[in-house]
Amino acid sequence: MGSVDAVRARFAGAVERLAELEEQRREALRERLRSFAGLCGAERVLDVGTGAGALALAIAPLVREVVAVDIVPELLADAHRRAGDGTHVSFVEGDAKALDLDSESFDLVACTRTLHHVDAPELVVSELARVTRGGGRVLVVDQIAPADAERARELNRFERARDASHSRALSDTDLRRLLAANRLNLNRSEILSENRQLDPYLDLARCEGDAREHARSLAPARDSYVAEIGWYLLDKPTLGA
């Protein structure tokens, strides 16, 4: 299965569960964005890989306009329905690797928990950089793999066994290198620890039967483990700067 087919298969059947999680987490994410992203209120924001509208709906009251893109139409339709009509959030189907959006057209471009689902993250990061205006910012949030290559390989094996749409979590070093290669300058970063209970985490990906036992055999720990989530806020320089 190609990565886009795997993503559609994984997420089109999980709309209700993702919507529930989005609503539970919205307020905390809003507070986190308020403190981390340094918003002024006038921003036009793009949320790439919005899922159930996670960043889009959290950030909406803090900014001027939000466009939310995802490759799974079922998620977009549900997020749109829950956002209601007449808001300043619009939902658009599209591929993060080739966005059908004008260059330099957003003040803040965000991509949260999505890069690890894409087989060519370098294409996504170059698109994030392209659609951000000079002087604007990019926010990338994703699970970080250990710096040790063998441990990173093991983590990615487990994540792929749990969820076939997982492609590869990058290490902090690899992700920083990729962002820098797109001339994005690090403004601030933070690595947060997220405690993951194994069973609910397997449930979330609807990982059942033999696949569940296989994933369990590869898991970092029997009951729970700590995932590292990297937050990166980057400045796109103005032309000539």
- Residues forming contacts to ligand SAM in the complex (CB under 6 A) are 7, 11, 49-51, 54-55, 70-72, 75, 95-97, 112-114, 117-118
- CA-to-CA distance for 181 and 183, rounded, in angstroms? 5
Minimum CB distance to ligand SAM, residue 59 (Å): 11
- Three-state SS string over 180-205 comes to HHCCCEEEEEEEEEEEEEHHHHHHHC
Calculate the CA 38 to chain-centre distance: 19
Nearer CB in complex with ligand SAM: 44/113: 113
| Residue from 155, 12, 165, 153 nearest 77 by CA | 12
Q: What share of the chain is helix, strand, coil (3-state, %, to 5)?
A: 45, 25, 30
Nearer CB in complex with ligand SAM: 74/174: 74
Tell me the residue number closest to ligand SAM, measured at CB: 51
Nearer CB in complex with ligand SAM: 100/210: 100
Nearer CB in complex with ligand SAM: 20/213: 20
Q: Which residues contact 128 (CB under 8 A, 6 or more apart)?
A: 48, 109, 111, 138, 140, 182
Minimum CB distance to ligand SAM, residue 228 (Å): 16
Nearest-10 crossing angle of helices 3-12, 15-36 = 100
Minimum CB distance to ligand SAM, residue 150 (Å): 25
Minimum CB distance to ligand SAM, residue 137 (Å): 17
Nearer CB in complex with ligand SAM: 54/210: 54
Nearer CB in complex with ligand SAM: 17/176: 17
DSSP bridge pairs for 225: 196
Strands (E), the chain: 44-48, 65-70, 89-93, 106-112, 132-144, 185-197, 224-235
Minimum CB distance to ligand SAM, residue 197 (Å): 17
- CA-to-CA distance for 224 and 87, rounded, in angstroms? 39
Minimum CB distance to ligand SAM, residue 24 (Å): 11
Minimum CB distance to ligand SAM, residue 127 (Å): 9
- CA-to-CA distance for 45 and 156, rounded, in angstroms? 31
Nearer CB in complex with ligand SAM: 96/234: 96
